Structure 1
């Protein structure tokens, strides 16, 4: 075993993607969007890793994201970072856009009212973040949308 090998790192920022969730009391009124018969809050920060967390090399977090509307044409997966440990929104505060994956979801299979589902994985603990998205219920399920990003960590644990 190499004693100089890096086995984990400390995240210097919180990383996540922008989502739209159920509108809750206290959410800014300007973020409210009516989707069908539900009130949704736009610009929400879905956390994948928090600032100060120790992450091992190749640490992976996977979440499923669902489109808002049947017959939606594209899904934008916008990656944000923040100096806050638990940011709630991607607008205001210290949230910064790091990159974006745009996925064609115009060919959802099955029911016409089916909402597109995408599995999004982020890999941490490397010298960069890697974000991958794969279709779950539409299109070519073997196609992987990828985005590697430079990443800064606060410390290295050996």
Structure 2
């Protein structure tokens, strides 16, 4: 089954229900700006075209309450528009918008006549904007087409050959135009829209809070690792990464992978590695976690990498020439990552928890 979350944006996941009723991710989550926010932006661009950007900008800066009312008017209309509606859409305009338009464009009708909507939009006094339903539907079309295009590409994945159900949730799922487009584009799949789809995401979050083990396996969207300092190899490492540490040349900023983007991990999955501590003349050692959009990042300074967080480990007293090792462990649990560092000399453990991307 494929849940499609359509609120301000589109968030798409694919899960397989296992015999024990738990869920397993089939492909990595994906999404984009294909929800209500994009439609709202299309509406603002429509208003800019009809009344000019200058007027809409002035309305927003001088009369924010009226601007918000104008946006809310659209919120109501976009839930009622349908594929077969033939009657015009009537938008009630704030008086201040009419006033500003008259001041800058002589009249509302004059502003309309200079726009690209001169044959499909009209003004009725005192405060009614009459919009052809096809024009109104066209505000939705680019966003819906982009969503359908993304899903169509996803469905070509060999792992989804037997996908039969699409579950739509989120406020934008209540729009009939989206529902019709989905059923028309994918007639061989059953599209399910629960009652009060806008509240389904909230309800799901509450249920997940009570049953965090319900999703037993997830696919990592990022590569996870730490910064390491291996011995310098002139045939492998660039010169600007060379650093003299504890009597030998080391390569700084090397990304050591613990888990790779696209890897499927079970709840509680852990991976560990033992490293010899360097720069032991300091009082503490910083162990830093990095994530990357690449499957094989070389250095933590690569453009695809970003710092997730760190641990500060106290360095115990060491005699001259003495070394000690640190065991670093990542534990993937649900929506969180536990990073643990254990001083193998003293047994001391430090931990930190991060959001799992």
TM-score where L is the length of structure 2: 0.39
Task: Specify the SS of the correspondent of 1:26.
Answer: coil
Greater relative contact order structure (CA < 8 Å, 6+ sep):
1
Task: Determine if the alignment matches structure 1 residue 136 to structure 2 residue 154.
Answer: no
Q: Report what 1:54 is aligned to.
A: 264
| Shift >6 Å, 4+ stretches | none
Selected match of 1:31 from 221, 226, 241: 241
Selected match of 2:220 from 4, 11, 15: 11
**In 2, Cα distance between the equivalents of 1:15 and 1:50?**
6
User: How many residue pairs align between the two structures?
Assistant: 147
Q: Aligned pair in 2 of structure 1 residues 58, 31: CA closer, same or farther (>3 Å)?
A: same
CA offsets, 1:70-89, max 9 Å, x none? Answer: 43421110100000001110
Q: Report what 2:322 is aligned to.
A: 114
Could you say which structure has the higher helix fraction?
2
**In 1, Cα distance between the equivalents of 2:246 and 2:224?**
30
* TM-fit CA distance, 1:36: 4.2
For structure 1, the residue ranges without an aligned partner over 5 or more in a row are 153-158
Q: Report what 1:83 is aligned to.
A: 293
CA RMSD of aligned residues (A): 1.7
TM-score where L is the length of structure 1: 0.85
**In 2, Cα distance between the equivalents of 1:70 and 1:114?**
9
* TM-fit CA distance, 1:61: 0.4
Task: Specify the SS of the correspondent of 1:148.
Answer: strand
Task: Determine if the alignment matches structure 1 residue 100 to structure 2 residue 317.
Answer: no
**In 1, Cα distance between the equivalents of 2:219 and 2:310?**
24
**In 1, Cα distance between the equivalents of 2:297 and 2:231?**
17
Q: Report what 1:150 is aligned to.
A: 355
CA offsets, 1:80-132, max 9 Å, x none? Answer: 00000011100122110000101111424xx4312221111100142110001
Aligned residues of 1:70 and 1:112 also touching (Cα < 8 A) = no
For structure 2, the residue ranges without an aligned partner over 5 or more in a row are 1-18, 23-213
Aligned residues of 1:72 and 1:106 also touching (Cα < 8 A) = no
Aligned residues of 1:71 and 1:113 also touching (Cα < 8 A) = no
Aligned residues of 2:338 and 2:353 also touching (Cα < 8 A) = yes
User: Is the radius of gyration larger for structure 1 or structure 2?
Assistant: 2
Q: Aligned pair in 2 of structure 1 residues 144, 70: CA closer, same or farther (>3 Å)?
A: closer
